[in-house]
Amino acid sequence: MKSILITAGTGANNIILNIGDEYEDRVDYILIDELESDVWKVEFSAERMLDIAVTRQPVILLATLGGETGNRSVERLTKLFKSFEIPFSAILIIPFKFEGDSRNVALSIANKIKGEAVSVHVFDNEILTSLDLTKKEAMLYADREISYLLDETLK
Ligand SMILES: Nc1nc2c(ncn2[C@@H]2O[C@H](COP(=O)(O)OP(=O)(O)O)[C@@H](O)[C@H]2O)c(=O)[nH]1
Ligand SMILES: [Mg+2]
């Protein structure tokens, strides 16, 4: 059975734009790039949630935390999963230190999810600063590392 991969945040959507082709045979994508998008009504209707709960289709949440869409989507989705008793795994991307408070908010959301998800993998953008890479190389490196976390989650 295919897993459902939900991406939340512009960053998460971009990452899937780069690496998503590799997973097409293993996952169905639900992409959330706006809090107001119809995705919420269509993909997360009560019928659809019940269907996921009953068929036990594995759910993976991939979110860039720290921005508005990622943070708030994760908040909404974890509530939904809880009320429908849907187990989920998470891959969470944490902002750089220079991003200030959004990093702290992201870290606290990640901590909360650790108590709710079946498995949580974290990629901390800050590690990119310790590598001798151009900005473009660093983003490619991050994409690759996140794809390893996805491989691990899909095992
Ligand atoms: N590794 C990686 N991190 C990203 C990327 N885009 C954004 N981020 C990180 O994700 C955080 C949230 O950004 P974004 O996803 O654009 O926010 P949102 O759309 O409002 O949820 C940023 O502060 C960055 O630290 C990306 O392409 N790759
Ligand atoms: Mg955005």
Mean pLDDT (10-residue bins), the chain, 155 residues:
98 96 96 95 94 97 98 97 97 98 98 98 98 96 98 97
Q: How many domains does the chain have?
A: 1
CA of residue 78 to ligand 2 center, whole Å: 19
The CATH number for 102's domain is: 3.40.50.1440
Ligand 1 close to Cβ of residue 69 (< 6 A): yes
pLDDT, residue 70, reads: 98
Furthest-apart CA pair in the chain: how many Å?
A: 49
Q: How far is the CA of 68 from the centre of ligand 2 (A)?
A: 7
Cα of 131 vs centre of ligand 1, distance in Å, is 19
96 CA closest ligand 1 atom index: 25
Q: Looking at residue 143, what is its pLDDT?
A: 98
Q: What residue type is 21 in one-letter code?
A: D
Q: What pLDDT does residue 125 have? A: 98
User: What is the extent of the structural domain holding 99?
Assistant: 3-154
**Distance set, CA 87 to CA 61, 82, 126 (Å):** 11, 8, 29
From residue 151, give the alpha-carbon distance in Å to each of 3, 15, 26, 115: 12, 14, 10, 22
pLDDT of residue 18: 96
Question: What pLDDT sits at residue 91?
Answer: 98
Exposure of 83 in the CB half-sphere (CA atoms within 13 A): 9
